[in-house]
């Protein structure tokens, strides 16, 4: 490369994320990881101090999270973390299962060797986090694997549809690993999926991906509990 061109490129300003995008990312992680619990009221003053921002980027962030189904905006009453419901989980799974099957069939035909190597590397990283009991970083690696699998299908409509639905149940996915037994089972299922992907067996991979999703849902449903609203705790409801 011409040295002048390389120098000019190096001097270009670093592109920074808009402030409200950064707030969205932090709030999203806090909700998914249950640091902000379902049903919890979001105090704007407290959040502004926590993140060092004004109310404008915070409110923009809350609008984005409301579109993702993570936050519920209450007219003239602020916002709360959207409660989890079994009905939403079940209905989303019904739509996502055939997408998982389709993705398994497409990805084995279209994934590149580099793409496969990247997923394999993420798998080993994910397993290392699990061995250390690091659920937040395990989950980020896990979601990166699912994202790359869908992206490598080479179908933008599938990617957009899947990612939109996955956003709505990401909290359920995270909670599925609260049980050590289920966490171990999830890793074992990922091992099988990686084997099917490496063998380019689309039918098997699609079935495994679909069943993996169902197993997560069943683990979450088994762990959902109801608490009296008078206790000030959140309740998990069917609808």
CATH number where 169 lies: 1.20.120.530
Please indicate, yes or no, if residue 13 is contained in any of the structural domains: no
Quick: pLDDT tens for 118-140.
999 999 999 999 999 999 999 99
Q: According to the model, what pLDDT value does residue 2 have?
A: 44
Clarify whether residues 45 and 94 are in a common domain.
Answer: no
Of 165, 178, 24, 60, nearest to 103 (Cα)?
165
Q: According to the model, what pLDDT value does residue 226 have?
A: 42
Quick: pLDDT tens for 194-206.
999 999 999 999 9
Clarify whether residues 67 and 179 are in a common domain.
Answer: no
Q: According to the model, what pLDDT value does residue 136 have?
A: 92
Q: According to the model, what pLDDT value does residue 16 have?
A: 59
Clarify whether residues 104 and 198 are in a common domain.
Answer: yes
Q: According to the model, what pLDDT value does residue 169 have?
A: 87
Q: According to the model, what pLDDT value does residue 238 have?
A: 52
Clarify whether residues 32 and 129 are in a common domain.
Answer: no
Clarify whether residues 210 and 159 are in a common domain.
Answer: yes
Clarify whether residues 132 and 214 are in a common domain.
Answer: yes
Q: According to the model, what pLDDT value does residue 21 have?
A: 83
Q: According to the model, what pLDDT value does residue 11 have?
A: 45
Structural domain boundaries enclosing 111: 86-223
Number of domains in the chain: 2
CATH classification of the domain holding 40: 1.10.10.10
d(CA 109, CA 23): 38
Of 67, 165, 195, nearest to 173 (Cα)?
165
Residue 155 three-state SS:
coil
Please indicate, yes or no, if residue 125 is contained in any of the structural domains: yes
Q: According to the model, what pLDDT value does residue 7 have?
A: 39
Confidence (pTM)? 0.78
Q: According to the model, what pLDDT value does residue 17 have?
A: 62
In whole angstroms, how far apart are CA 96 and each of 77, 143, 226, 235?
34, 15, 26, 25
Please indicate, yes or no, if residue 119 is contained in any of the structural domains: yes
Strand partners, 78: 74
Report phi then psi at 72, rounded to 5: -115, 120
Q: Which residues of the chain have pLDDT under 50?
A: 1-15, 225-237
Q: Which residues of 139-167 are buried (b: 16+ CB within 10 A; e: fewer)?
A: bbbbbbbbbbbbbbbebeebbeebeebbb
Please indicate, yes or no, if residue 181 is contained in any of the structural domains: yes
């Amino acid at each position: 490369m011409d040295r002048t061109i390389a120098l000019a490129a190096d001097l270009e300003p670093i592109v920074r994320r808009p402030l409200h995008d950064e707030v969205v990312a932090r709030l999203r992680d806090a909700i998914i990881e249950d640091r902000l619990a379902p049903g919890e009221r979001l105090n704007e003053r407290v959040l502004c101090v926590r993140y060092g921002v004004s109310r404008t980027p915070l409110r923009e962030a809350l609008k984005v999270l409301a579109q993702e189904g993570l936050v519920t905006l209450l007219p003239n009453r602020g916002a709360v973390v959207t409660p989890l419901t079994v009905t939403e989980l079940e209905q989303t799974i019904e739509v996502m299962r055939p997408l998982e099957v389709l993705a398994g069939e497409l990805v084995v035909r279209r994934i590149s060797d580099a793409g496969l190597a990247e997923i394999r590397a993420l798998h080993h990283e994910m397993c290392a986090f699990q061995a250390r009991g690091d659920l937040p970083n395990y989950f980020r690696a896990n979601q990166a694997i699912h994202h790359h699998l869908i992206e490598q299908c080479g179908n933008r409509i599938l990617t957009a549809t899947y990612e939109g639905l996955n956003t709505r149940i990401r909290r359920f996915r995270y909670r599925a690993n609260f049980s050590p037994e289920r966490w171990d089972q999830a890793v074992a299922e990922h091992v099988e999926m990686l084997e099917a992907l490496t063998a380019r067996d689309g039918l098997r991979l699609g079935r495994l991906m679909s069943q993996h999703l169902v197993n997560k849902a069943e683990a979450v449903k088994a762990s959902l509990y109801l608490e009296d609203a008078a206790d000030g705790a959140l309740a998990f409801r069917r609808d």
